[in-house]
């Protein structure tokens, strides 16, 4: 696992920003003064979460409205699934996420 700088500034608004790291789309969102990074692919049926939204600490998929906790990735009660959440840190106003380099890129 390594930390990768993905943004050299902090997004001002609570809008979602999409980045691409190692060919993976990852969304970064600011919620209640905290930043979170999560996979773009919905674990339910693979929908694109680029147009998802946040509601009370849950990312809501636009297709079937499943919800995933921003902190843990755990799906709401009864879903039994998880959204991939990436560790995120901020240094010098830059955003870094922790991600494993794919074996085929080593
Ligand atoms: S594809 Fe996301 S909730 Fe069904």
**4-13, 21-30, 69-78, 85-94: which has the minimum mean pLDDT?**
4-13
> Which atom, in ligand 1's list, is nearest to the CA of 65?
3
Number of domains in the chain: 1
Domain ranges, residue 56: 2-105
Q: What percent of the chain has pLDDT over 70?
A: 98
> How much distance in Å is there from the Cα of 41 to the middle of ligand 1?
9
Residue 7 pairs in a beta bridge with: 95
> How much distance in Å is there from the Cα of 39 to the middle of ligand 1?
13
> How much distance in Å is there from the Cα of 42 to the middle of ligand 1?
6
Q: Whose CA is nearest to atom 4 of ligand 1?
A: 64
Sheet strands side by side (includes 94-99): 2-7, 94-99, 88-91
> Which atom, in ligand 1's list, is nearest to the CA of 61?
2
Q: What is the pLDDT of residues 51-79, one digit of tens each?
A: 999 999 999 999 999 999 999 999 999 99
Residue 84 sits in a domain of what CATH number?
A: 2.102.10.10
């Amino acid at each position: 696992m390594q930390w990768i700088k993905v943004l050299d500034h902090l997004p001002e608004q609570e809008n979602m920003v999409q980045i691409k790291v190692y060919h993976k789309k990852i969304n970064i969102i600011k919620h209640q003064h905290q930043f979170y990074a999560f996979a773009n692919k919905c674990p339910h049926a693979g929908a694109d979460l680029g147009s998802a939204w946040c509601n009370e600490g849950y990312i809501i998929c636009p297709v079937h409205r499943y919800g995933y906790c921003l902190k843990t990735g755990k799906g709401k009660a009864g879903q039994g699934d998880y959204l991939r959440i990436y560790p995120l840190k901020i240094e010098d106003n830059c955003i870094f996420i922790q991600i494993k380099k794919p074996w085929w890129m080593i």
